[in-house]
Structure 1
């Protein structure tokens, strides 16, 4: 059971109330931007995914969802980064140069692969968190209902 905050918001929601340009956008427009971000995360070269994630983070902070947005992003990406570092940087034997760093035997190719994967995941996660932090679920359901989405599809979304 969720407990209501003094300002009327719900602990179970990641939504951060605000009046920014992003909060005022139609939820379906924001959903389209999330879809674009997801496609761009895989269509862009690896060097383009990290700037995309950084852009989404900057927009999230500018839109006033900074604390919740940043906390969730860090909370999710930190253990994932550590796991990718261990698996690709240390354990997987890539056919490339290896280097010793702080007593660890690291693979250059493995670390580069880790950064590519992490960039894509960061772009996907930051785009979707931006949507969730700036879109109230009731407003999303109203927008879907006004466009005659089937209730089952609205539930999935």
Structure 2
């Protein structure tokens, strides 16, 4: 009886660990939500007023500190950024996206990370909270789910969380023309700038077209008069069917963009001129200087061992 109960609980944990992030992504956020998370929002917030170059350099600072330093840096970056999404009316979407990313990565690393890796980080005394049946090894799962494994997965998720939120903030508060000017200031090749700008423009359009194709499949009755228990599978099938129309749209859009670039003599000159140029305000200078100082100090502490880097255990709590 205990074996049957353990098997049921194990499969529940596996299915919940896989399905919960997917539920958040496609049910709570949805295709329209992803479009709203990647589309520019008009406003006069703190990040709107920053120089686009400042935002790109700050993104580099966050990338360096969050990936190389203690995981708490990534957590702090994310917590600082969250209130700014409220003014953009995107806080609920960002929270759902954050929960999906953090939960999915924490669970994924917890059940697939080798015990030998965890022992190198936390020591040999691992605290087991659940044992999976032996045949779960064929699925790649480790035999024991430990507190240290969950904590290790959380560390990895936190290192990425802050970077993801700041990337979303840049997309929401920076126009395409601002992107172009910023990359030109960095002396990026015009062909590379063009590719990046096309990607920035296309991301929200991809979600818009995918949602339209998905709703058309539903309007055609793909899940009509089907038992309620199997309707989610038909909706997933409708989402799958929306991939091909979206790809066709992208190819057509690429052709139109190419024609547009040719008619405007793109690439004839090595550099471009702009009607309006952005200057660095006092706010930009303070952020760049303070961010650079913090990054240098953080890297120094990491190199000298004052701040633990990867891997990291919290005050030997699980040794």
Corresponding residue for 1:112?
151
The match for 1:150 among 183, 189, 201 is 189
Cα RMSD (Å) of the superposition? Answer: 2.9
What is the CA distance between 1:66 and its match in structure 2?
A: 2.8
SS of the residue corresponding to residue 47 of structure 2 reads helix
What is the CA distance between 1:73 and its match in structure 2?
A: 3.7
Is 1:133 the counterpart of 2:175? The answer is no
Corresponding residue for 1:82?
107
| Partners of 2:76 and 2:126 in 1: CA distance | 27
SS of the residue corresponding to residue 44 of structure 2 reads coil
Computing the radius of gyration from Cα coordinates, the structure with the larger value is: 2
Matches within 5 A, 1:9-48: 11=35, 13-48=38-73
What is the CA distance between 1:125 and its match in structure 2?
A: 0.9
TM-score (structure 2 length as normaliser): 0.39
Contact 2:81–2:166 (CA under 8 A) maintained in structure 1: yes
SS of the residue corresponding to residue 23 of structure 1 reads coil
Query: Which has the higher mean CA deviation after the structures are superposed, 109-118 or 71-80?
Result: 71-80
**1:154–1:69: structure 2 CA closer, same or farther, 3 Å change rule?**
farther
What is the CA distance between 1:68 and its match in structure 2?
A: 4.7
**1:100–1:145: structure 2 CA closer, same or farther, 3 Å change rule?**
closer
Identify the structure with the greater helix proportion.
2
SS of the residue corresponding to residue 100 of structure 1 reads strand
Contact 1:99–1:106 (CA under 8 A) maintained in structure 2: yes
**1:98–1:26: structure 2 CA closer, same or farther, 3 Å change rule?**
same
State the Cα deviation string for residues 22-45 of structure 1 (Å, max 9, x = none). Answer: 112121111111111111102332
In structure 2, the gaps of 5 or more residues are: 1-34, 120-124, 133-143, 197-319
**1:65–1:137: structure 2 CA closer, same or farther, 3 Å change rule?**
farther
| Partners of 1:82 and 1:137 in 2: CA distance | 36
Contact 1:22–1:63 (CA under 8 A) maintained in structure 2: no
**1:49–1:126: structure 2 CA closer, same or farther, 3 Å change rule?**
same
| Partners of 2:159 and 2:166 in 1: CA distance | 11
SS of the residue corresponding to residue 25 of structure 1 reads coil
In structure 1, the gaps of 5 or more residues are: 1-10
